[in-house]
């Protein structure tokens, strides 16, 4: 669950160059995955997003600013709603800190809370911390569903033996025209669909064309879903030097 969830963010956040391990995907697949990875590669990025979380008991939409650098630095600041405004999260390497303006304290996220959901969403804190790439950890091959759409690529990914993953397979649906993902389906080892990611609203964003809306639905939990909307983004621009510092967490001003 963790790895897969992060794949969503990994696709939009800069990804490092793949490691040297010999892949077992076919050359065509490898080329596709590499293109997908490279599509979102960026040394630094900034994005303004909206995250809507739906549960059977409540519904909430958070507006936040998202900064990244490399694969291991992330800074998030919540702008709305008022109750959560000013909260911030910093991730550097394997460590994570939270800041809440009301208590005015920086709290290092303890390991026990890492598996807790991040800001109430279907993502876990751990999702924001994990690093993985499709190419390195999965072996892919083309497949044909019942009614294939000729405009789409269908790739089936299976985790490599040494990969720590809960999934039996992940089915990727990619547009042939621009190699943008449309959908990811995660199946457990018994072939049951456990969660689905849908990508939509493909439009220009920060100079690139990419799906601006992602919706994640965990099928094992009825009535839950998390939808992320990208409102604005900038890639490879300059970021203030102290973006990824603890000090920045406590700053009230918005960058």
From the list 59, 1, 33, 16, the residue with the least C-alpha distance to 179 is 33
Q: Which is nearer to other proteins, 190 or 247 (CB)?
A: 190
Distance, CA of 4 to CA of 107 (rounded, Å): 27
Let me know: does 184 contact 200? Beta carbons within 8 Å. no
d(CA 164, CA 141): 20
Residue selected from 35, 38, 105, 208 as contacting other proteins according to rule CB under 8 A: 105
Q: Please state whether the peptide bond connecting residue 81 to the residue before it is cis, i.e. omega within 30 degrees of 0.
A: yes
- Residues 231, 10, 224, 194, CA torsion sign: positive
Q: Which of these ranges, 6-14, 160-168, 174-182, 241-249, lies near other proteins under the rule CB under 8 A?
A: 160-168
| Residue 60 contacts other proteins per CB under 8 A | yes
Least distance (Å) from other proteins to the CB of residue 83? 5
Tell whether residue 203 is a contact of other proteins (CB under 8 A).
Answer: no
Number of Cβ atoms within 10 Å of the Cβ of 221: 13
Which of 42, 68, 133, 165 is the binder for other proteins (CB under 8 A)? 165
* Residue placing its CB nearer to other proteins in the complex, 70 or 120: 120
> Which residue of 16, 17, 19, 107 would you call a contact of other proteins, by CB under 8 A?
107
**H or E stretch covering 34:** helix 27-39
State in angstroms the smallest separation of the CB of 249 from other proteins: 14
Smallest separation (angstroms) from other proteins to the CB of 112: 5
Q: Which stretch binds other proteins (CB under 8 A): 27-35, 147-155, 185-193, 207-215?
A: 185-193
Residue 126 interacts with other proteins (CB under 8 A): yes or no: yes
The kind and range of the H/E element at 42 are none
Which tokens sit at 147? 């009614």
Selected binder of other proteins within 20, 22, 27, 57 (CB under 8 A): 57
What is the C-alpha separation between 147 and 246, in angstroms, rounded? Answer: 51
Q: Is 87 in the site for other proteins (CB under 8 A)?
A: yes
Task: Based on the shown chain and the rule CB under 8 A, indicate whether residue 197 belongs to the binding site for other proteins.
Answer: no
Q: Whose CA is closest to 229, among 28, 64, 90?
A: 64
- 85 touching other proteins, by CB under 8 A: no
Rounded CA-CA distance 181/174 in Å is 4
The residue ranges that bind other proteins (CB under 8 A) are: 1-2, 53, 55-60, 81, 83-84, 87, 94-95, 98, 100, 102-105, 107-108, 110-115, 119-120, 124, 126, 129, 164-167, 186, 188-190, 192, 194, 220-221
């Amino acid at each position: 669950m963790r790895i897969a969830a992060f794949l969503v963010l990994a696709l939009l956040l800069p990804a490092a160059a793949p490691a040297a391990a010999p892949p077992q995907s076919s050359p065509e697949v490898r080329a596709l995955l590499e293109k997908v990875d490279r599509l979102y590669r960026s040394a630094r990025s900034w994005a303004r997003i909206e995250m809507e979380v739906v549960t059977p008991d409540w519904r909430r939409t958070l507006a936040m600013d998202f900064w990244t650098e490399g694969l291991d630095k992330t800074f998030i600041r919540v702008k709305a709603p008022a109750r959560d405004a000013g909260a911030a999260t910093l991730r550097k390497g394997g460590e994570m800190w939270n800041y809440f303006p009301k208590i005015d304290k920086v709290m290092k996220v303890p390991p026990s809370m890492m598996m807790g959901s991040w800001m109430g969403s279907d993502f876990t804190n751990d999702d924001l911390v994990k690093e993985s790439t499709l190419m390195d950890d999965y072996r892919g091959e083309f497949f044909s569903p019942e009614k294939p759409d000729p405009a789409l690529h269908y790739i089936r990914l299976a985790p490599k033996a040494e990969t720590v993953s809960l999934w039996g397979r992940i089915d990727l649906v990619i547009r042939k025209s621009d190699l943008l993902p449309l959908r990811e389906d995660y199946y457990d080892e018994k072939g049951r669909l456990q969660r689905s990611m849908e990508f939509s609203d493909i439009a220009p964003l920060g100079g690139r064309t990419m799906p601006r809306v992602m919706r994640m639905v965990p099928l094992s939990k009825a009535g839950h879903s998390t939808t992320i909307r990208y409102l604005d983004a900038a890639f490879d621009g300059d970021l203030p030097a102290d973006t990824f510092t603890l000090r920045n967490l406590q700053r009230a001003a918005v960058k």
